[in-house]
Structure 1
Amino acid sequence: MRAPLPPRWICGAAALAAAAWAAPASAQEAGPARGLALNRFSPAPAGDRMFGVPSPYAASPNQDGSATLHVMLLGDYAHNPLVLTRQGSDENLGAIVGHQLFLHLNSSLTLWDRLHVNVDLPLAVLQQGDSPAAEGLSFRSPSDVQLGDLRVGLRLRLLGDYFDPFQLAVGGFVWVPTGDRDGSFVGEESVRGLPQILAGGRIPGFVWSAAAGVDLRPAQTFAQVRQGLMFNGGAGVGLLLGSEEQLQIGPEATVSTVLEDPEARNTNVEALLGLRYRFAPTLRDFELGVAAGPGFTSGIGTPDFRAVAMLAYSPEVRRADPDRDKDGIVNEKDACPDVPGVGDPDPKKNGCPPSDRDEDGILDRVDACPDKPGVANDDPKKHGCPPPGDRDKDGITDDVDACPDEAGPANEDPKKHGCPPPPDRDGDGVIDAEDACPDIPGIRTSDPATNGCPGDRDGDTVRDDQDACPDIKGKPDPDPSKNGCPVAVRMTETEIVILQQVQFDTGKATIKKVSDPLLDEVAGVLKEHPEIAKIEVQGHTDPRGGRAYNIKLSQARAESVMKALVQRGVEAERLASKGYGPDVPIADNDTDEGRQKNRRVQFKILEKKPKQQQEAP
């Protein structure tokens, strides 16, 4: 609120004490005559759906008339709820109350699913201001922790249940003067009341509340602003999100104004955007909420910003389940509504489980042994009767178990039925007696020397479990890291890497014979991997001799290598050549070693066939 100083520097609080004008030499302290409950935020009772707008229901999760307790701790912060300004210029002379933080201990009790009793005890834990002064008057800002006025509420639900789209109730609040009233801003010296009419409702995914009433309080004037009998109203809506509607988000607004000579300075309009979350699934009776919003008028107690946070224990009200035991028979027709059962023409048995005295899952009417737990049997004379003995506990009765003392699986062969299978230590499906590698999982083959041993995917005679390059043909090597790998070639996702350089005659594109084995390996890799659709054969040089010369030389060398691969059986359409000259060095051209590394041929993978094309015949 902006408490204005009118023209001629007259302080708005002068109307409170005429003696203040007779003291020009020193400022006189001014304040509310009987104490002033500055805070215009009145928290909704614990268990309600909004932060500041009460709901019309009596929240009882049991819906059987038993009493339900709701408890909430709520923090309410207001910024600049009372600021002194000069009328006409809106010059800010300082905040009488710049910061005000209340903690509310709020509890509710619902009775008979219809009556709701609420108690709210506010405590001002932070109050700060500038203690402004002007024209011989000073306003002392509060600073102490102070107890506010105790609020007691009562409401009666008239229409609608908790989940109905329209609900109606009457109720109200009474404030008992328990707060500090000696020039404070937390309480008043007289009892105040607020009778209300409340409406609201809930549909899947949406909840709303509205309230209107008259705030009955003695009249007083503070800073030339009339306070007294006031209209008080508010409304809020919330979207309910989540699979169990545990998250609520939505706006709410409150308005109050003096009924006698209303104006901007005694009218309060605020709005909040709030978020509430009910913890799920194990702590559904606890709820956390935050909200914030602006004030829109200059009325006493209207802040320019308000923030609210709350934590509540509020037992959740859940929709009644029409079929609690989920047996397809509604509760009102189910003789056993909490135990799944079956339909029966007898109302006393409808929805109840059928008789099964021995609880073996076989109904008494078809159980050949209704008092002894048994098993199903195609023979009606044995159906529901205990099975023959099973000494080895393998599920195969001794009378048909070929190995009654050794647990084993079923087998179509009566001589093996119930007997343990032959040992297979590596679990590869080849029994140890036939497994050439009984301790290493392998594959079944027709060759006794390799049956049960790991395969050889690349066909280079080195077993996959010993092959360091199982997908590329290589040669045996005593070094495990090289065993089964090509001598001079490796393959990555983007390149066929050669571990030796392709050798050319000096200054020419003629490939030396010494590089034939290397090119044989490159061609072999390309033949073994038809999924490689396109390879770029790259030629690179060092910078000596000039760029134009080296571009031409590197292109000629790349073409020579591509031609050599075609001669070795690689399809020409899978190959492309390009000379890069000295443009892509991989080492320092200032040293002989670096220049030697830069004179190279590379095989870059440009394109691979999709997997389905690789598998196509």
Structure 2
Amino acid sequence: MLRKKRCLCTSVLAATGVILASAPALAQSTNGVVDANGDGLDTHLFRPALDSKGFFATNGTSVLSANDISFGLVLDYGNSLLRVPDKGQRNAALAMHSFQGTLHFNYGIANRAIIGISLPVNLMLSGPQADANGQPLLPNQWSTAELNSQTIGAPALHAKLRLLRVEQGFGLAASVQAGVTLTDAPKNAGADPVLYAWPQLIAEKRLGSTGWFKIGANAGMRLHPASSTTLNLEDGTFKDGQRITYGLGMSARVAEPLEIVADTYGTYLLSDASAKVKPSNEVVGGIKLYVERNSYFMLGAGTRYTPGFEAATIRGFLGFIYEPSIGDRDGDGYKDDVDKCPDDPEDFDGYQDEDGCPEPNPVVHIPDPPPPPKKPPPPVNNDRDGDGIPNAQDQCPDQPETFNGYKDEDGCPDKGDVEVGDGGLILLKKIKFATNSAEILPESNEILDQIAGTIKAHPEFLLMEVAGHADERAPDQYNLVLTQKRVDSVVAALIQRGIDRSRLRSKGYGEYCPEDQGHNEEAWEKNRRVEFKIVKSKDGGPTPQLGCENAVRHGVRPAPLP
């Protein structure tokens, strides 16, 4: 696996080297936009998504986990930009062929945001712009010389902040990108003059049981110091100005390694340019081919559907996005690079739980519990209600005892803090833990006694899952480890109360299965919980849902059914 990751990384770095090697400003001696016609313009309508979580051009709302990174290289081609009247010249477009390579790097912060940098490199080509008589096609606007511009575009910094998690129903994020042009690229229609700033609002929705179908939308404004450049194009006069930006993407994960993507994006020019020149819109379709969990090749093509100045008649692109993912082969919540036993899961017994290895002699730091509840005596002939307590000792001889670890010796039905429901136990009182710890507080000994008593009174429950859940406020990985440690402590406490180890298993689901979707103290209190699910019973009844779909989407699955 490490060899494969090095190969992927090396491939991207090699491609990056090729792009940068071709980037030195070998720009032609004569620029396309003549000196008297302002500072120039940009025609790159297709701009790759900021990070590995987007569609093609449309951004997604998810972000990298804390301290994770991603980088990639996207190459795109646009044909027939800045179309002009055909007067016998070789190419009826000022930029007949536009190639751009964009390298980007991103870094995740606190599971909430990313920061990154992008570097575009341009190659702009077109024939001389002179009519059949050798006269300038656009006098005082564009040079008659052949366009052959090789430059770096506008290096840019960007940031994205996740506001709402898409896993909780609807995703929302905000981003901003700012770049500075350091070359004469604008004079060859290759970059925004001087600098630009691009704030955007990003929305996303996922559909299907595992979120396999995604829809995303972006809206923003690309701001820059407008130049005085004017061009008399085929569909009207271009005059530079600010641009409203928008995008709509859809994708379907039709197989584990394959995602089909459709994306439309565009700009609307805010200036007194001709009406037909203002809206530039393209639509593309293609695939993402995943080679690792979040690393993929992308390939697509499309065309314009409005005559705007920067919309290409043919658009094509390919790229590779690499997001290093360190696996967790044994599923214990510790990534393999820090797990001392990557193939043997940690047993979370309170003894050296931070090394990722199961210990042969675990030490469980749990207070000595009180003696287990007394087993009901064998049935006798003088037991009218059949609860195993003789009538002479039964305070309710005609009503059978409810064996739930609460006053089980009086022979009367009573309601404790544990009830048997469909598919599991219902706890009317929470199991309490010390803050940020798996230590069970002494006040929970009573509810643990009742749980143990209830399980003993139901020998038909052959296997139960003790499931741990947390609220959303801590990082995802931290919550997974903490909930696993806590349910392991609960299992250990029940074993000490006489429950056979073979009847119990544990699983921590972190924050992925909230009971309340709110984002307040009341919701957090509900979501911090321990649940008991009946995995297998003697009567062979249906198994309740274990875990949840959102946990599965994040790679957290319950153990297979026995």
TM-score scaled by length of structure 1? 0.45
Work out which of the two has the higher radius of gyration on C-alpha atoms and give 1 or 2: 1
